Amino acid sequence: MSFDLEKIRKDFPILSTQMNGKPLVFLDSAASSQKPKSVIDTIRKYYEAENANIHRGVYYLSQKATEKYEMARIKTSRFIGAACAKVVIFTRNTTESINLVAQSWGRTNIHEGDEIVLTELEHHSNLVPWQMLAQEKQAVLKFIPLNQDSTLDLTNLDEIITERVKLVALAQMSNVTGTIHDLSAIIRRAREVGAKVLIDGAQGICHLPTNVQKEDFDFYAFSAHKMLGPTGVGILYAKEEILDTMPPWMGGGDMISKVWKDKSTYADLPARLEAGTPNISGVIGFGAALEYLESVGMQEIRNHELELLQYALDRLEDFGGLELYGTNDLSKRGGVISFNFPGVHPHDVGSILDEEGIAIRVGHHCAQPFMDFKGIAGTCRASFYLYNTKEDVDSLLVGLKKVKEIFGRVLKR
């Protein structure tokens, strides 16, 4: 099927709204994507006609809700290329998925003196849980350094990933610079030393065709809300033999097998790691989001974003005076552009663009170690998704021209 941008845009009601009296130009999908009508309608339909709790009721509605919830799990496993549905655990978000691994697998398997390897480009979600675990267990955090173009410097990989390393945790794609990491070299090295690999797929899965089995991820964490689904739904995939050894991390309903006054036995996967009533409408809505993405095609989405990225980079380069971050090798980059006006703080840029109806993200993007590496307070970030157009890029440039006019006097260069 061909990539029909006009049709896609019509599927997203918010894209035809106005912001501050101007047509909305949404360039912040890396923070959270917009939702197509099919997802919104699926959630509405659930609450209007299908609402019930799952896994317990013997009545029709509960059975129906359970069926739809579990169907979303099957769709998720198919979407990421997992072997079966029970290795898909629903959480609240990527952060919770990573904390689940840290608290359950990590506390069981990481001991004093063990090492955890991260990169200097990690999002706080894939940094702070490991800091907490390392402090508790007296383990050591190590970092794969960066090249100036924000790609990973893998020259000393063998010295960084040693026999002491139990886990390597890194993002598939950076939320700040859009860098797509060369995971295969890192995974190969992790296998040599027997370390597990966790991939933070929050920014990857929404933009790149991904197959967790072919790419040999041990853990894969991501969120529904960055891939057209609702907020409050996260996913943790892990290999079945790893999940089998992971103890529960939250106790409560649904995760038990049998309960006495003084002890309990626990349910099989995936229920063992999903305590309490989950975000039922959200998971069902996520199922609709996956169907939407599949109907368009992940490779088509990737191709479209590459075209936009090239167009935007060229125009920003021509604009002059901007500091652009990230690699120019587009095979190693997704549709994210971070930049700065030297001398103008990103928040000032964000406010001026907002007035023009243009939504971008400004600040440190929850990646402060990267900002320290670059010696900057933050960046302006424009991020693309399947519904963005070259006209959106043109609007951004018009907005930036306004920033230049207003701040002309204080701009460096």
Partner 1 sequence: MSLSDSLYQEVLLDHYQNPRHHGKMEHSDLHQEGVNPLCGDEVELFLKLDGDIISEISFVGKGCSISQASASMLTDSLYGKTISEAKSLLHQFKGMLLEDKVPNFSEEYEDLESMEAVKKIPARIKCATLAWNTLEKAIGK
Residues with catalytic annotation?
A: 366
Q: Are 320 and 105 in contact (CB under 8 A)?
A: no
* Identity of residue 240: E
Residues 255, 270: Cα–Cα separation, whole Å: 9
3-state SS record for 162-199: CCCEEEEEEECECCCCCEECCHHHHHHHHHHHCCEEEE
* Binding of residue 401 to partner 1 (CB under 8 A): no
Q: Residue 317: exposed, middle, or buried by beta-carbon count in 10 A (0-12, 13-18, 19+)? A: exposed
* Binding of residue 347 to partner 1 (CB under 8 A): yes
Contact flags string 212-251 toward partner 1, x per CB under 8 A:
----------------------------------------
Q: Which of 180, 352, 393, 400 binds partner 1 (CB under 8 A)?
A: 352
Residues 286, 225: Cα–Cα separation, whole Å: 8
Only one of the segments 34-42, 304-312, 382-390, 401-409 lies at the binding site for partner 1 (rule: CB under 8 A); that segment is 401-409
Residues 157, 17: Cα–Cα separation, whole Å: 48
Residue 37: its H or E element: helix 37-45
CB of 257 to partner 1, least distance (A): 43
Kindly report the backbone phi and psi dihedral angles of residue 149, in degrees, each rounded to the nearest multiple of 5, phi listed first: -85, 15
Cβ closer to partner 1: 338 or 388?
A: 338
* Binding of residue 142 to partner 1 (CB under 8 A): no
* Binding of residue 253 to partner 1 (CB under 8 A): no
Only one of the segments 23-31, 42-50, 117-125, 338-346 lies at the binding site for partner 1 (rule: CB under 8 A); that segment is 338-346
Cβ closer to partner 1: 22 or 142?
A: 22
Cβ closer to partner 1: 7 or 347?
A: 347
Residue with tokens 């901007």: 322
Contact flags string 356-375 toward partner 1, x per CB under 8 A:
-------xx---x-------
> What is the CA angle 271-274-278, rounded to 5?
115
* Binding of residue 345 to partner 1 (CB under 8 A): yes
* Binding of residue 254 to partner 1 (CB under 8 A): no
Neighbours of 56 (CB within 10 A): 12
Only one of the segments 48-56, 272-280, 304-312, 400-408 lies at the binding site for partner 1 (rule: CB under 8 A); that segment is 400-408
Interacting residues with partner 1 (CB under 8 A): 344-348, 351-352, 354-355, 363-364, 368, 377-378, 402, 406-407, 409-410
